[in-house]
Amino acid sequence: MKNIIEIKNLTKRYDSNFQLDISKLNIPSGRIIGLIGENGAGKTTLIKCLLNLVKVDKGSIKIFDKDIVSDEAIIKENIGIVLDGMFLPEVLTAKDVDSIMKDIYKSWDSSEFSRLVTDFQIPLNKKIKELSKGMRKKLEIASALSHNAKLLILDEATSGLDPVVRDEILDLLLKFVKDDEHSILLSTHITSELEYISDNIIFIDNGKIVLEDSRDNIMENYGLLKCDVDYLENIDKEDVIAYKKNKYDCHVLINNVSKIRRKYKDVIIDKITIQDLMVLMIKGERK
């Protein structure tokens, strides 16, 4: 399968002692990639590097097999963007956005934009500054989906939306990648969304990728072992990724569920959620 994003030996340093280090990352086309990690882990820095909004210190980034610096104009024509923070001037109306985007994107589709604005019930002549946070976000999403982009880069795209509209957006994203020509990189704190729509998960912590796997492998192979605090001593160190002691029991993050079930027959192993996985890998103790 063709890669839509290719990163090699990427380094971006900040004076605050934070450093993003990604030795290799390939994102195939036709997939929804969930990007997770706590605030300050490096998700937004990675997105800014992909969009050439910050200059990398070392390494290379290719999107659509083109260099993000020398081929920036071609790449941006084919990327739809929704960032965490409004990028449209607040004095504009939805009608103004349509007029402006026609001059920015050669492939801008006014009819598609009009359909989405109608479906999202966005007022055409109301200024953006007068819209609610959720309505603003819907306008950004409508803009990102209206110029036949091959790649969507979304940072907290569904934050501030009510559950009904959020589900509608997720269904739109699933339709967007129904062929192998479109992809989505979705950074979100609503990890339950990724359990629903993502194909792969990239987990960043402290500027490094600590886990990269398919959603199915994560949900099938990782588990949450629950036991008495004293029983933790019976679990071999190599079987424990991380653990957290609670008031009455202990939660242990494990991999290879089938093997662990055979080895420790007197414990409970629950299915993992992406949120459980993230919290335990970041905050959990090591044996």
Interval 98-109 mean pLDDT: 94
Instruction: Determine the Cα–Cα distance for residues 151 and 201; give it in Å rounded to an integer.
Output: 17
Q: What is the largest CA-CA distance in the chain?
A: 67
Question: How does residue 146 score in pLDDT terms, banded at 50, 70 and 90?
Answer: very high
Is residue 160 pLDDT above 80, yes or no? no
If pLDDT is split at 50, 70 and 90, which confidence band does 93 have? very high
- Write out pLDDT tens, residues 7-66: 999 999 987 789 999 999 999 899 999 999 999 899 999 999 999 999 999 999 999 999
| pLDDT tens digit sequence for 212-224 | 999 999 999 999 9
| 239-287: pLDDT as tens digits | 999 999 998 899 999 999 999 999 998 899 999 999 999 999 999 999 8
Region for residue 11 given its phi and psi (left: phi exceeds 0; alpha: psi -120 to 50; beta: otherwise): beta
Looking up tokens 């598609």, which residue turns up? 112
List the end-to-end C-alpha distance of the chain, in Å, as a whole number.
39
How much is the average pLDDT of 181-195? 92
Assigned token pair, 59: 């390494």
What pLDDT is attached to residue 197? 94
CATH of domain 3-214: 3.40.50.300
Residue 86 has pLDDT above 70, yes or no: no
Res 6 pLDDT > 70: yes
Q: Domain spans of the chain?
A: 3-214, 222-283
Q: Which residues neighbour 218 within 8 Å (Cβ) at sequence distance 6 or greater?
A: 201, 211, 272, 274, 277
pLDDT of residue 152: 96
- Using a pLDDT cut of 90, give the percent of the chain over it: 78
Residue type, 101: M
